[in-house]
Structures are given as structure tokens and as C-alpha cells.
Chain A
Amino acid sequence: MKKRNKYFAMIVLIMMLLLIAAGLVTGEWALIKNNGSLICFGCIGIG
């Protein structure tokens, strides 16, 4: 892997980790948890 590509990938990785952190701060964990805890009737084909 070229050094330039490696640095680019590292920067993108840091950005992705920041996105996760931003999602956690804005309360997405709870929203996703609540949504995932219910039966998704669309998923199982009766929604």
C-alpha cells in the first residue's frame, strides 16, 4: 500500500470513528435500540 493511500485511509477511519462518536452523543444508540427491540413487520413480510 502506498504511503499516501495509507494516510488517506487513516484519515477516513478517524472520520468514521468521529461519526460513531457523533451518533452516540446525539442519542442514536437509544433510537436504534428501541427500533430494533420491536418486531419489524415490514421485515417479516406482514407490514
Chain B
Amino acid sequence: MGLFAFLKKRFWHQLLFSLGINAHLKGFLEAHPYQGAAKGLCLPVLNCYSCPGALTSCPLGSLQYMIYSNARHLSLMVLGIVGSAGILAGRWVCGHLCPFGFYQDLLKKTTKKSLKLPRIWTKMKYVILFLFVVLLPLLLSKPAFCTLICPAGTLQGGLTLVWSLGIPLGFIYFWKLGLLLFFSAFSLVIPRFFCRTACPLGAFLGFFNKFSLFSIHVDMNTCISCDACRKVCPVDINISEHPASAECIRCGDCLPACPVSCITFTSPLSKEKGAFNEASL
């Protein structure tokens, strides 16, 4: 445990990252987004670029823009950045860095009640990825996901900007506000409700969970199948059966919960499987 030991805690990863990429405080006072060079960068997290504090662009918004603008192709840079993050660590960014994931985690901390999500709901995010992020922007020449669904845009841009712009609010605004309330209300009782059901970025990153360099290993010789890992898992997966599940957000909550310490993080640099334990997080 060194000087930076506190940084290994997930809460601090999330807090510092969320504040860090929304640190353009002047934007809140002027009610205008940041316009510097960093806006050309898309970090692989759901963070609305219309948030007055946002220093970087949203990968989903940029992906849609490249499809419906004159470029009319999938953004190579966005695919490369999100794909690199995916191949390095799968959905680790969802569990440790995503500001909207952090928002849902904070909501969940306020209640003890927890409901199960029917497995079929988790398939919806793949439909949203194809339909709202690729197909509809191509057909309608509009950022369909941003306009019709994205609750991060409503939270970060809608609630902070719209009052200072003085533009009359229409149906879309209240539709999106309703969706934000819907996802927020369900996140109180179902951990990571939006990530599991509707996040296209999570759906895309999930493809990489199976072969990412940084992954989870379960020593089946030691596992006693007690289900303790599933009880603490925010996305309700049995990590001992599916360590590479596309739903796993690599939060690491299962590591300290395992009574026989058979769940570990591995990296290609580990000489032995399971070089990291919960203390490394």
C-alpha cells in the first residue's frame, strides 16, 4: 500500500475521472461547451459533449455524426479508441471510469432494495446499438440515439444548458426527461439498469470481454460453487461459470467476496494466472 493506494479504489477512479473530464467550469458559467483541441478526443465512456464542462467528445455522438454528416462512414478514430479500450480491458471502463455508470452506482447506494432484471432485457442494448447508433442516423441524417434516448445528454446537457438558452421546450425534451427519470428510478432498485439494458457503448465493449488482455480468471480447482460472487455482482452474472461474460463490467466486487479467493484479475504480463487480487484494485 503506497501513497497512491487510495486510487486503487473504484469509487475514486469513478469520481476523479468523472470530475476530470468535466472540469471546464467556465463552461457552466457561460452556458457554452468547451471548444479546445481536446474536444477532438473521444474517450470510451458515456459523457455528453454538450455538457458545458466536458473536455472531450462523446464516442456515440461522434460515431453518429460521422455517419449522418457528409463523411457518411463509421468513424475510424472512434472505433479505434473504443476498440483499443475493449481489447485492453473489456468493459473495465464501464465499471471504473464511465460517469453515467458512476451516476447509477451513486443512485443504487441510496437504497438497499434490489430487484432481478430478466435476462431478455439485456439483449435490448444490441438492438439499440444497431438501430439508433448506426441505421437511423444513416436513414434520417440525425443523431437518433442522442436525440431520442441518451439520458446522459439530458442529465449533463439538458438540465444544465437548456434554461440558459431561452429556447421553448418541446415534446422531445420532456420525452428525454421522462427517460432520464425512468432509467434513474430503475437504477435505484436494479444496479446499472441503463448499462445493462440500453447502453450501446457497453454493448460494443462487451464484445471484447471474451478476449481482452486484462481479464478475470476463476480457478475452478479451488471454487466451491458457493455463489457468493453472484450475490455481490451488480450485473447478476455467475462469474465462476462465465468469467468472460459480455455483461461483466470488471468492477471487481466479486474478488473480495470469494471465500476461497479463486477469482483474480490476469494480464498478459502475469507470469501465473491470477497475478492480481482484490488488493490490486
A: which residues have CB within 8 A of B? Answer: 1, 5-6, 8-10, 12-13, 15-24, 26, 28-33, 35-40, 42-47
Contact = CB atoms under 8 A, between A and B. Distances in A.
Contact of A39 (B157, B176, B273): B157
Interface stretch (B116-124, B164-172, B227-235): B164-172
Contact of A13 (B88, B147, B150, B158): B88
A19 B77 contact: yes
A19 B123 CA distance: 28
B172 A47 contact: yes
Contacts of B174: 45
A46 B212 contact: no
Among A12, A43, A45, chain B packs the most CB atoms within 10 A around the CB of: A45
B71 interface: yes
Contacts of A20: 76-77, 80-81, 84
B268 A6 contact: yes
B32 interface: yes
Interface stretch (B1-9, B60-68, B97-105): B60-68
Interface stretch (B14-22, B37-45, B107-115, B192-200): B37-45
A23 B80 contact: yes
A13 B84 contact: yes
B69 interface: yes
A30 B37 CA distance: 8
Contact of A36 (B49, B71, B84, B162): B49
Contacts of B169: 45-46
Among A15, A16, A31, A38, chain B packs the most CB atoms within 10 A around the CB of: A16
B34 A37 contact: yes
A6 to B, nearest CB: 5
A42 B32 contact: no
Interface of B: 32-35, 37, 39-42, 48-50, 54, 56-58, 61-62, 65-66, 69, 71, 75-81, 83-84, 87-88, 142-143, 146-147, 150, 153-154, 157-158, 161-162, 165, 167, 169-170, 172-177, 211-213, 215, 217, 266, 268, 273
B39 A8 contact: no
B87 A32 contact: no
A46 B162 contact: yes
Given A12-B211, A23-B76, A32-B65, A40 B266 contact: no
Contacts of B62: 32, 35-36
B213 to A, nearest CB: 5
A40 to B, nearest CB: 4
A37 B65 CA distance: 13
A45 B162 contact: yes
B60 to A, nearest CB: 10
B39 A33 contact: yes
Given A9-B213, A32-B40, A1 B154 contact: no
A10 B37 CA distance: 30
B144 to A, nearest CB: 8
Among B34, B84, B150, chain A packs the most CB atoms within 10 A around the CB of: B84
